[in-house]
Amino acid sequence: MENAFSHIAIVTKESHDQARELGDRIGRWLAERGVGVQILSNDQNGQGLCLEEPGPDLILVLGGDGTVLSVARKLDRGPDVPLLGLNLGQIGFLTELSPQGWQDGLAKVLVGEYSLFPKVILQHAVERDGEPIAQGRVVNDLVVGRSGLARLIGLRIWCGEEELGRLRADGMIVSTPIGSTAYAVAAGGALIGPDLRAMELCPVNPFMSRFRPLILASDNTVTIEVDHESRDVLLTLDGQSGSRLQGGDRVVIREAERPLRFLQPSGSNYIRKLRKKGYLG
């Protein structure tokens, strides 16, 4: 029987002995079943993945959610390849396989017992004096927040041409559905089903403000402007990289043109995962 995937790239967490050793084991297991394999380490600070030609038709990521996020952002201008995660971290909400049961999960995948789910991700552009100075995309969330001293920052928020409000707060989170289980829920936001086309705006410790967490359709454009008097403001992407913002800067956020595709072996269930990870009673 022909395998559902002919070439799988295994991307291991950088400088992680368990990930490297397990990657080698899985690579041998796949090769014995006639699957072409490339094994490479994720360079956390790199801009892309050095994938062989012809490219893989599946990327298996060995690490925690942070490694999955890092790899996912590197597919921005690369091939449209689905991701499958194997959890070697703490939470592992973006992963489907475990170090103990990976053989059964991969066996299902190879015979076609899986589903592919496109997930909404966001792209952003930073504008200064009306000119774009930076851009990129995020899988979980982006945060406009204070970078150090315990002082509030002033923000002004729009949805399209409609002003949503002004607030002083520690910051504002703009989250994807899959990112709603991360910083947003810790800040009081809602959990959003990962199959919805939505984004969530969640203020962080707003002061004397009625701005509540807000879920919008992801085809909206959200703009966050930093007050001219605010200092030490940081734009953080997926909790992994950041850049300084100045007073008057605008961050324009919209749904990315290309969704991110995650592979889910048969039997995986979002509600059961929420319960297992402690998000539900």
Query: What pLDDT digit, counting tens, does each position of 233-267 carry?
Result: 999 999 998 899 999 999 999 999 989 999 998 88
Residues 133 and 211 in one domain: yes
Centroid of chain to Cα 228: 30
Per the annotation, the verdict on 249 as an active-site residue is no
Of 73-77, 118-122, 165-169, 189-193, which range is least confident? 73-77
Residues 61 and 148 in one domain: no
Top pLDDT among 1 and 158 is at: 158
At residue 69's C-alpha, the angle toward residues 46 and 53, to 5°, is 55
CATH code at position 211: 2.60.200.30
Across residues 10-25, what is the average pLDDT? 95
Residues 226 and 263 in one domain: no
User: Does residue 44 register a pLDDT over 80?
Assistant: no
Q: Is residue 264 part of a domain?
A: yes
Residue 35: Cβ within 10 Å count? 20
User: Does residue 78 register a pLDDT over 70?
Assistant: no
Residues 49 and 67 in one domain: yes
Give percent above pLDDT 90 in the chain.
73
Residues 196 and 264 in one domain: no
User: Does residue 95 register a pLDDT over 60?
Assistant: yes
Residues 227 and 269 in one domain: no
Residues 113 and 126 in one domain: no
Local structure of 198: helix, strand or coil: strand
Residues 109 and 134 in one domain: no
pLDDT, residue 147, reads 81
CA–CA dist 237, 235 (Å, integer):
7
Task: Tell me which residue range forms the domain holding 194.
Answer: 122-255
Over residues 134-149, the pLDDT tens digits come to: 999 999 999 999 887 6
Residues 17 and 44 in one domain: yes
Task: Please identify which of the residues 65, 141, 238, 249 carries the catalytic annotation.
Answer: 65
Q: Is residue 2 part of a domain?
A: no
Mean pLDDT estimate for the chain: 92
* Structural domains of the chain, count: 2
Band of residue 89 on the pLDDT scale cut at 50, 70, 90: confident
Q: Is residue 281 part of a domain?
A: no
Top pLDDT among 46 and 38 is at: 38
pLDDT, residue 51, reads 86
CATH code at position 271: 3.40.50.10330
pLDDT, residue 96, reads 93
Place of tokens 């062989």: 52
* Strand 171-175 relative to strand 141-146, pairing: antiparallel
Centroid of chain to Cα 183: 12
Local structure of 221: helix, strand or coil: coil
Residues 106 and 188 in one domain: no
Residues 116 and 146 in one domain: no
Residues 84 and 150 in one domain: no
pLDDT, residue 1, reads 56
